[in-house]
């Protein structure tokens, strides 16, 4: 039986290494035959869904890299609606990001190992 992972990101994509580490982990897991069931953005990680972020030219867009990986591999990329609303981001179409609740994330965890970034 293949090991299945769910990723939980909590840190802003603009501060720290969490998004870069999550991308590295996801690529390595997939390359080694593991399954990624979902990626869930919680707390400040929901800032990744905000459209129109203008990053400096020398700074990588880690949120876009994660979104592209999830799209290519057909991995659900969920964000917490409540956490987003607390940060002024309201439920709407946000490209590859899907609005969800913490309860939905928890229900999807059956049989998966959670890796938190």
- Cα 104 from Cα 110, distance rounded (Å): 11
The residue to which tokens 């309860």 are assigned: 103
Widest pairwise Cα distance in the chain:
44
Number of Cβ within a 10 Å radius of residue 24: 12
The residues assigned a catalytic role are 80
């Amino acid at each position: 039986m293949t090991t299945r992972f769910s990723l939980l990101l909590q840190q802003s994509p603009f501060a720290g290494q969490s998004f870069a580490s999550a991308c590295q982990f996801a690529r390595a897991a997939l390359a080694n035959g593991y399954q990624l069931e979902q990626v869930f953005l919680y707390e400040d990680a929901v800032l990744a869904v905000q459209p129109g972020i203008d990053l400096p030219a020398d700074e990588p867009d880690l949120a876009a890299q994660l979104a592209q990986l999830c799209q290519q591999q057909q991995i659900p990329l969920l964000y917490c609606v409540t956490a987003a609303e607390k940060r002024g981001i309201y439920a709407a179409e946000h490209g590859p990001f899907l609005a969800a609740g913490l309860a939905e994330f928890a229900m999807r965890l059956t049989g998966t190992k959670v890796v938190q970034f």
